[in-house]
Amino acid sequence: MAMSPEDFRNELAEIRSDLSRQGALVTDMASRAFQAIYERDVASAREIVARDDEVDKADIEIERHMVDLLVRASHDSCGLRPETIRSSLTSIKVNNELERVADAATAVAEMVVRLGDRTTPFPKTLQVMTNSVVGIVRDSVRAFAGTDEPIARSVLASEGTVLSFNGIIVRDAEERVADGRLEVELAFELHGIASQAVIMADHCTNIAEQVIYESTGHIVRHTQGEWVQLPEV
């Protein structure tokens, strides 16, 4: 039996449901990875590293399912509306972005393992920053799950705050290393954690861009320090 547009939409809904579950898993990984830093919980960090394989496997399966669906729809000359095609493209791209967020969370967990039992505290600013990033990850997943443009735009607006936190943390680390309050090796780890947080936020803004594209047809890109909406596709 030839695939109908309704058949396509139903199967696409299944894929997006899988992606929502993937998003919940990735959000939990990010939250637990940052929590492991402050608790120096090496056992928890090792569990997060192991869960990355689970995300990778789901990433591959979701992409295969999406490609197979598009191939079958093309073969059956299934007449799809532009918004359905945008939803399909968004699903593929968000799948990739979530996998990258999980990679960043895994990198943070691996740093916790390297730190071992060292107890030198990180600055409070880092915890504020990482809490903000976990919120951004959670909001980007919510925006995708509900095709929620306002939440997506709030994710875009948060990027500047994350970058500001990163700048403060880097400058503070340099000062603390200079006056002997912070070991050089620990400063590198601090910088690495903050950098991974920035990477997570960046992938979340990519998800937000896709949500806006899906819901409006507008392409949004970051250029010259601001978000610019390009003509409708």
The domain made up of 5-229 has a fold known as Methane Monooxygenase Hydroxylase; Chain G, domain 1 (1.20.58)
Which pLDDT value is given to residue 233? 45
- Stated pTM of the model: 0.88
| CB-count exposure of residue 230 (10 Å: 0-12, 13-18, 19+) | exposed
Residue in 138, 178, 4 with CA at minimum distance from that of residue 78: 4
Beta strands per DSSP E along 49-121: none
pLDDT (tens, 9 = 90+) of the chain, 233 residues, equals 678 888 888 999 999 999 999 999 999 999 999 999 988 899 999 999 999 999 999 999 999 998 888 888 887 777 777 788 888 889 999 999 999 999 999 999 999 888 877 766 788 899 999 999 999 999 999 999 999 999 999 999 998 899 999 999 999 888 888 998 888 888 888 899 999 999 999 999 999 999 998 888 887 765 545 555 655 54
Distance in angstroms between the alpha carbons of the first and the last residue of the chain: 32
* Structure tokens that stand for 46 in this block: 């090792």
Which tokens go with 118? 């060292």
pLDDT at 121: 75
Query: CA-CA distance, 215 to 207, in Å (whole number)?
Result: 12
What pLDDT is attached to residue 221? 67
Write the CA distances from 116 to 15, 37, 139, 191, 227, integer angstroms.
39, 10, 32, 17, 41
Q: Which DSSP symbol is given to 41? A: -
pLDDT of amino acid 164: 93
